[in-house]
Amino acid sequence: MLGPQTDGDAIDQPVLEAKPKRKILVLGSSHGRSIGQRLQKAMGDAYAVTSIFKPNADLSNVTGDIGKLCKGFSKEDQVVIVGGPGNSLERNLSYQIEKDLSDIAQKTSHTNVRFVGLLWRHDKPWINRCVREINLRLERSLVEVGAAHIDAIDVSSILRSEHTVHGLHLNPRGKDKLTRLIAESIKGRHIPVVMGVQNHFLG
């Protein structure tokens, strides 16, 4: 009969290797404020979310370091771009998004990118004709530059009531909806919405 086990006895234990977390990098202008924290909560512990936002930055500034920041990423990881082209457009109503998209595509071909479309400018509604045009060109340009690893996220379901009173930024409810749209896109369950019409599947 075996005696009691002593401290010197060896016990084989299965070695469980922790699965590395998938990485999500959120790059944005002021629209990106608090989106990283919200997205971390929405995606859960299997993901590690890092957020960098630059208030009032245009798209080239928002994504200026994108190649360096996602150097160690793989196809299991994601870069999310929230804001930037709106500031580019405000400073130049003839802004061409294609050049910035081509630069982003070249620097991120080894991973995945979720590009949030331009939000409506309720503070300056006369700009919205250009916003609509840029959003249409965004989708078209991704095909033209061969950027199969970049997906555009349609934000036309975000309502006026989900913006601040001023009309430029999203309020907490709007940020929650934007976070949900991003999370659904990453998880492959993004539900397309019709321009200017709320999709009731999204709330």
Query: What does the H/E/C string look like for 83-115?
Result: CCHHHHHHHCCCCCCHHHHHHHHHHCCCCEEEE
CA-CA distance, 127 to 130, in Å (whole number)? 6
Please tell me the predicted confidence (pLDDT) of residue 16: 56
CATH number of 22-186: 3.40.50.1110
How large is the average pLDDT for residues 131-146? 87
- Residue 18 is predicted with a pLDDT of 67
Strand partners of residue 163: 170
Say which DSSP state 126 is in.
G
- Rounded percentage of the chain residues whose pLDDT exceeds 70: 84
d(CA 41, CA 26): 14
Helix ranges restricted to H, 98-163: 98-107, 128-144
Residues sharing a CB contact under 8 Å with residue 187, sequence separation 6 or more, in sequence order: none
In this predicted structure, what is the pLDDT of residue 191? 41
Token readout for 79 is 């870069």
Q: How confident is the model at residue 200 (pLDDT cuts 50, 70, 90)?
A: very low
pLDDT band at 73 (very low <50, low <70, confident <90, very high): very high
What does the pLDDT average to over 128-142?
91
Please tell me the predicted confidence (pLDDT) of residue 94: 84
Handedness of CA 168, 86, 54, 185 (dihedral sign): positive
What backbone torsions phi and psi does residue 53 show, to the nearest 5 degrees?
-125, 145
Q: Three-state SS for 176?
A: helix
Mean pLDDT of the 187-195 span: 52
The pTM assigned to this predicted structure is 0.82
> How are the residues of the chain apportioned to helix, strand and coil, as percentages rounded to the nearest 5?
35, 15, 50
> Measured between alpha carbons, how far is 203 from 201 in angstroms, rounded to an integer?
6
